[in-house]
Amino acid sequence: MATSLNGKRIAFLATDGVEQIELTRPWQDLKDAGATVQLVSTDTGEIQGFNHLTPADNFSVDSSTRQAKAEDYDALVLPGGVANPDALRMDENAVSFIQGFFNANKPVAAICHAPWSLIEAGVVKGRTLTSWPSLKTDIENAGGNWVDKSVCQDQGLITSRKPDDLDDFCSTMLEAFAA
């Protein structure tokens, strides 16, 4: 049975350096399920996707972190890449935007290096999550419990390690966002 997300509004928070497949695959799966998806970034205009370290496509931004509000969305997706979450965690508005989803108990899905933004938002403590392996120490130092699994779901937070985990990540995300 297909998951229906008709009427759901989903924000993707990303900036330059986003791992392109971690943006485009969940985006397409959510659209296919009927969700309205919007790209939120630190600035308006476009962001540059990457295939690992190689520049890829540009993506149009729908709203900036200065304008967007968590209350306008049903869920949040945080794609990875190394540069993307590193830049987002340095943006006060991006961090506040992330915190808004947790304060409202809305589901959040994060993959690869995206938990760096979660750490900065102060929402990792007491949660079990996974990520790209190099974030293990950062997550543990922030009070989280790191596990090496393709997908982890804890208290409304869905996390995965890498692009190879996208099948598990997307199916778990769709179920959680539909609930």
No. of H helices and E strands in the chain? 6, 12
113 an active-site residue? yes
Active-site entry in 47, 74, 85, 113:
113
Distance CA 52, CA 172 (A): 24
Triad 139, 68, 36: Cα angle to 5°? 90
**Cα distances (angstroms) measured from residue 34 to each of 2, 13, 28, 63, 83:** 10, 19, 10, 20, 30
Annotated catalytic sites, by residue?
113
